[in-house]
Amino acid sequence: MNRPALRTAATSATALLTLSACSSSDDTSARSGSPKLSGTVTVFAAASLQESFTALGKRFEKDHPGTKVTFSFGGSDSLAAGITGGAPADVFASASPRTMEIVTDAGDASGAPATFVRNRLEIAILPGNPDRIGSLKDLARSGLKVVLCDEDVPCGAAARKALDAGGLRLTPVSYEQDVKAALTKVGLKEADAAVVYRTDVRAAGDKVEGVEFPESAGALNDYPIALLKNAPNASAAEAFVELVRSAEGQRVLTGAGFLKP
């Protein structure tokens, strides 16, 4: 082969290598989910999501270096009021459609919310079940100290629905503003029982035990999630919502005891 031919072959090979490198770079960029995300994502989420969302937040930060996920956990009604009052947030995950409607009706959601999990109630009791609580009607026994969530909170509204289904009336020793506060009363032995979500019973470990009851089947709570209209970090917020709804997000959530929608 003469020299001009060798130069042509070398030039062609170099071009092919360059094209291949560019193609590989483009593929890698596509897989990494470009454009690169950065900054803080602020998530307002129902108290019952604390453990699951904290784990997903850490995963999100690992997948997207340069991002940080901060959470505000609490009663869904209080969180909704904060959002409509102008609190800066990117994402809202509520424990009921009713509380999500507070935000959507105010025009503060970007697009339609999506239900990503459901949750079911259980009776949280002290380890070993010293009061022999085996059903919802047992909570009406005289002398038993029972705690409920406030009825404005999704777990309280669901508990009321279950109690009504069983034709039961009881007077709790206190109404709490979120499910974690209700569960804490039992863990501290300030109450004998509380009607909470089974996910929270599971998250509490050996501090409490859970008693299932059939009336809970008619009081399931749907959990919707939405990107907020004035999200300060909309791109990263959208990616976080996608993680929550992904197969990986569902594995984390169902592993914590949530039900698929």
List pLDDT tens digits, range 212-255: 999 999 999 999 999 999 999 999 999 999 999 999 999 999 99
Give the separation between CA 39 and CA 232, rounded to whole angstroms.
Answer: 10
The pLDDT of residue 35: 67
Residue 252 half-sphere exposure toward CB, CA atoms < 13 A: 19
Nearest to 137 by CA among 70, 78, 193: 193
Say whether the peptide bond before residue 35 is cis (omega within 30 degrees of 0): yes
Q: What angle do CA 11, 16, 21 make, to 5 degrees?
A: 125
Provide the mean pLDDT of the chain. 89
- The reported pTM is 0.84
**Cα dist from 153 to 159, 203, 230, whole Å:** 10, 20, 25
The pLDDT of residue 42: 98
List pLDDT tens digits, range 59-117: 999 999 999 999 999 999 999 999 999 999 999 999 999 999 999 999 999 989 999 99
What domains are defined for the chain? 39-118+222-255 (3.40.190.10), 121-218 (3.40.190.120)
Give the separation between CA 131 and CA 125, rounded to whole angstroms.
Answer: 8
Give the separation between CA 68 and CA 8, rounded to whole angstroms.
Answer: 51
Give the separation between CA 86 and CA 253, rounded to whole angstroms.
Answer: 29
Tokens standing for residue 36: 């690169």
Cα 24–chain centre separation: 36
Contact 179, 197 (CB under 8 A): yes
List pLDDT tens digits, range 170-187: 999 999 999 999 999 999
Whether 20 shows a pLDDT value over 60: the answer reads: no
Whether 8 shows a pLDDT value over 50: the answer reads: no
Per-residue confidence band for 126, with pLDDT thresholds at 50, 70 and 90: very high
Whether 168 shows a pLDDT value over 90: the answer reads: yes
Render the burial of 245-257: b for 16+ CB within 10 Å, e for the rest.
beeebbebbeebb
Tokens standing for residue 109: 């959601």
Whether 12 shows a pLDDT value over 50: the answer reads: no
DSSP 164: H
